Amino acid sequence: MTGLLGAVLAGGQSSRFGSDKALAVYRGAPLLDHAVAGLARWCDAVVVAGRDGGVPDWPEPGMGPLGGLAGALIHAQDQGFDAVLAVSVDAVLLPDDLLERLAPGPSFVADQPVVGLWPVSVIGIVQDILRSEGRHSLRALAERSDARALRFSKPLANINTRSDLDLLENDHGL
């Protein structure tokens, strides 16, 4: 796939984690660095959405992962990319065949909808959802775009608390 922009959705409050999850260290590096490196394997460029110095959420901060994805899709469209491969800031240990399994988009990981492949053509749907009074969620986008839900035999790592990170660090899994 050419013209693929990677986007780390990193604008969350990390309230369950207790501190800035993006800067939490896993195997010697911040989680954010792991997520960026993971996307760099498949993408022509990688951006961070929702953090200072990165791509801003759309239409404003505080819109959740969908606002980060909207910002990334707008950036992708402006820069001539065809699609966005999105992951959360805690995306470590992504399977080597992730992009192969997600393609073609729109598609997402069923138990972690923040991980998904979204063609730029869904930007209108995303903007409509974010302008509406309804749910501003990635699941709403999945429903409205008829995205495929991917299921893995082993769930992807999901780090919501320091205990989750400790378990992963000690190779006990999540």
Right CATH number for 4-169 from 3.40.50.150, 3.90.870.40, 3.90.550.10, 3.90.1150.200? 3.90.550.10
Q: How confident is the model at residue 174 (pLDDT cuts 50, 70, 90)?
A: very low
- Pick from 24-28, 48-52, 67-71, 91-95 the range whose average pLDDT is largest: 67-71
Nearest to 12 by CA among 74, 73, 65, 70: 65
Q: How confident is the model at residue 16 (pLDDT cuts 50, 70, 90)?
A: low
104 phi and psi angles, rounded to 5 deg: -85, 155
Task: Express each pLDDT in 135-147 by its tens digit.
Answer: 789 999 999 999 9
Question: How confident is the model at residue 173, as a pLDDT?
Answer: 47
DSSP, residue by residue, the chain: --SEEEEEE-----TTTSS-GGG-EETTEEHHHHHHHHHHTT-SEEEEESSTTSBPPSSSTTSHHHHHHHHHHHHHHHHT-SEEEEEETT--S--TTHHHHHPSSSEEETTEEEEEEEEGGGHHHHHHHHHSSS--SHHHHHHHHTPEEE--SSPPP---SHHHHHHHHTT---
d(CA 129, CA 65): 12
